[in-house]
Amino acid sequence: MSPKIEDSALTHMARKTDDNPQMLYEDVDEQEFQAKASKYLLNYGTQFNRDVICASKGLYVYTASGHKVLDFTSGQMSCLLGHGHPEIVQTIADHAVSLDHLFSGMVSPPVINLGERLCNLLPAGLDKAFFLSTGGESNEAAIKMAKVYTGKFEIVGLGASWHGVTAQALGAQYHFGRKGQGPLMPGMLMLPPPNAYRSIFRHSDGSYDWKAELDYGWRMIDMQSCGSLAACIVECIQSSGGMHVLPVGYLAALKHECTKRGMLLIVDEAQTGVGRCGDLMAINHEGVVPDILTLSKTLGNGLPLSAVVSSAEIGRVCAERDYCFYTTHVNDPLPAAVGDKVLEIVMRDGLVDHSRAMGEILHSRLNALKEKYGCIGDVRGRGLMAGIEIVESRETKTPALALGKAIGNRAYDLGLWANLSSHPSFGGVFRIAPPITITEDLLLSGLRILEEAFASTPGTLGV
C-alpha cells in the first residue's frame, strides 16, 4: 500500500468506521416502518431488504436495530469512495449553500471543471462531455446521439446486458424489464451474451470460443438488419448479468465489426469506470477507444450524476443536426462539483493502483474459497469487482438460487452485505464491489465473514 493511500483522508475515514456513527434516524420502530413501506411505497421491481437502514458511514451501513453491516456493494455499486466521505460532504454543503441548481441553458465553473478534468483523463477521441442524472439517462442520450450522427436507427446490444429503463436504453437491454409493456423501440437487435462459463461455443479442448460466437452473432445481426445499423452498446463487465468480463480481444473485435458497418461503438461504464476495475476506465485495459463513453454511478459517489463523452467531430455533426437532450438537471452544478471532486480524489490518492492491488487480494481469496466449496461454480471479475456463481454441482452447473440466498442471509447476519443476483436469467451470482478506499484489513475482514457464511450454511458442498 502506498504512503499516499495510507495517509489519506479516505483511509482515515475507513479506519474510523469502527465507531458507531450518529444515527440520523433514531428510535425507529422497524416493524412500524416496514408496515408503512408496504402501505405507501409502490413496487418498482424488487423486494425490500428486511431491515430499515438508518445510517451509513465509511464502509458500513447501520440498521434501525443497530446491526452494523460491511457494505461490499458500495450501495448500488455507486459509493466508490465510501459513505459520507468528508470531502464529498463538504463539496455538497458548499454548493447547496451557494451554487446548487441553475436554468439548463446556464453554465457554471463546476460543470466546466468536471468536463476539463474528465476529458483530459480520457484518450483522444473522447473530447467533450455533458452531464445528466442517471446511467439509463446517459445511455438514452448516447443512443440518440448515435442515431442523429449516423442517420440510422438500428441498435445492437448484448444478451444479459443492463443499460437502464428509459425507452431506448431498455430496448437495447436483454436481461430483465422488457416484458408487460407492449412493443419496445424498433430496430433493436441482440448479440449472444459473452458468458465464458456457460456458452455453448467451445474449442476442441473445451475452452470458450468467443470469436466463433461473436462471428455467429454478427451473421445473425446482418440477416436481421434492414440496413440501418447505427451503433452497438456494450458493458466491459456485465454486472447485472452475472459479473461476466468481456474476453481479451472482444472489445477490439467489436469495434472492428462496428467500423466495418459504419456503426458507432458505445461503451457503458456505469459500474466499471473511475478505478473500480484496476484501470481508470475499463476501456484502458486493452486500449480500445469507443465513439461514445457513458459514465454514472461511480462518478457521483452515489449522487445522481452521469456523463456522455464523445469526440469533437461527433459533437459538431450532432449540433448541426439539432441533436437535443435538454433536461431539467442537465449540467447541474452541485452534482458536477461532486464528480469533479471524486476524480480529484481518485487521482490524487492513487486509488486506481490501490484498487488493482486490493483486487488481486480479493480474487486470490475468492478462488481459494472456490477450492473449499463445491457449490462455487465460478469466480470472475477484475479489480474490486467480482462475481461468485453458486451452483448445485459443478458438473451440471444448475443455478442454486435457494442456497445462494441462504449464504447471503447468513453473511448479512454476520455483518456483511454482498448482493445476490437471484433473477433466473443469470442464476445465483454474488456481486462484490466494495468502495475502492477499502483497506486490506477491512477487505480481509469481509472475506472472513463470507467464508464463515459458507462454512455455516448447510449444502455448500465443502470439499
| 196-224 pLDDT, tens digit each | 999 999 999 999 999 999 999 999 999 99
pLDDT, averaged across the chain: 93
Whether 329 and 392 map to the same domain: the answer is no
Q: Which of 87, 154, 209, 235 is catalytic?
A: 235
Whether 343 and 354 map to the same domain: the answer is no
Which pLDDT belongs to residue 416?
A: 96
210 is catalytic: no
Which pLDDT belongs to residue 19?
A: 59
The verdict on residue 460 lying in a domain is no
The one-character DSSP state at 158 is: E
Whether 268 and 280 map to the same domain: the answer is yes
Higher pLDDT, 162 or 24: 162
Which pLDDT belongs to residue 26?
A: 83
Q: Which of 268, 291, 389, 392 is catalytic?
A: 268
Whether 328 and 282 map to the same domain: the answer is yes
Query: 237 pLDDT exceeds 60?
Result: yes
Whether 320 and 245 map to the same domain: the answer is yes
Banded pLDDT at 352 (limits 50, 70, 90): very high
Whether 279 and 181 map to the same domain: the answer is yes
Which pLDDT belongs to residue 425?
A: 63
User: Residue 389 sits in a domain of what CATH number?
Assistant: 3.90.1150.10
The verdict on residue 461 lying in a domain is no
Planar angle of CA 430, 433, 434, nearest 5 degrees: 125
Whether 130 and 222 map to the same domain: the answer is yes
Q: Which of 297, 380, 382, 410 is catalytic?
A: 297
Domain end marker among 314, 348, 382:
348
Which pLDDT belongs to residue 383?
A: 97
Whether 118 and 246 map to the same domain: the answer is yes
Query: 114 pLDDT exceeds 60?
Result: yes
Q: Which of 57, 154, 162, 365 is catalytic?
A: 162
Domain count, the chain: 2
**Residue 405 cell numbers, joined:** 440466498
Q: Which of 218, 238, 271, 378 is catalytic?
A: 271
Higher pLDDT, 44 or 135: 135
Whether 260 and 273 map to the same domain: the answer is yes
DSSP string, 305-369: -EEEEE-HHHHHHHHHTT-----TTTT-HHHHHHHHHHHHHHHHTTHHHHHHHHHHHHHHHHHHH
Which pLDDT belongs to residue 48?
A: 85
Neighbours of 221 (CB within 10 A): 18
pLDDT digits (tens, 9 = 90+) for 79-97: 999 999 999 999 999 999 9
Banded pLDDT at 176 (limits 50, 70, 90): confident
392 is catalytic: no
Domain end marker among 348, 368, 400:
348
Which pLDDT belongs to residue 47?
A: 82
The verdict on residue 425 lying in a domain is yes
Whether 343 and 357 map to the same domain: the answer is no
CA distances from 200 to 146, 159, 204, 254 (A): 32, 14, 12, 20
Query: 193 pLDDT exceeds 80?
Result: yes
271 is catalytic: yes
268 is catalytic: yes
The verdict on residue 416 lying in a domain is yes
Banded pLDDT at 159 (limits 50, 70, 90): very high
Domain end marker among 317, 348, 379:
348
Which residues make Cβ contacts (< 8 Å) with residue 114, sequence separation at least 6? 129, 131, 336, 337, 339, 340, 343
The domain of 358 spans 3-77+350-455
Asked whether 389 and 378 are in contact (CB, 8 A), the reply is yes
Whether 418 and 431 map to the same domain: the answer is yes
Query: 17 pLDDT exceeds 60?
Result: no
End-to-end CA distance of the chain: 33
Query: 422 pLDDT exceeds 70?
Result: no
Higher pLDDT, 248 or 9: 248
Which pLDDT belongs to residue 20?
A: 67
The verdict on residue 463 lying in a domain is no
Higher pLDDT, 48 or 339: 339
The verdict on residue 309 lying in a domain is yes
Asked whether 164 and 140 are in contact (CB, 8 A), the reply is yes
Which pLDDT belongs to residue 267?
A: 98
168 is catalytic: no
DSSP string, 83-143: BT-HHHHHHHHHHHHH-----TT---HHHHHHHHHHHHHSPTT--EEEEES-HHHHHHHHH
The verdict on residue 407 lying in a domain is yes
Whether 217 and 243 map to the same domain: the answer is yes
Which pLDDT belongs to residue 463?
A: 77
**Bridge partners of residue 265, in order along the sequence:** 232
User: Residue 322 sits in a domain of what CATH number?
Assistant: 3.40.640.10
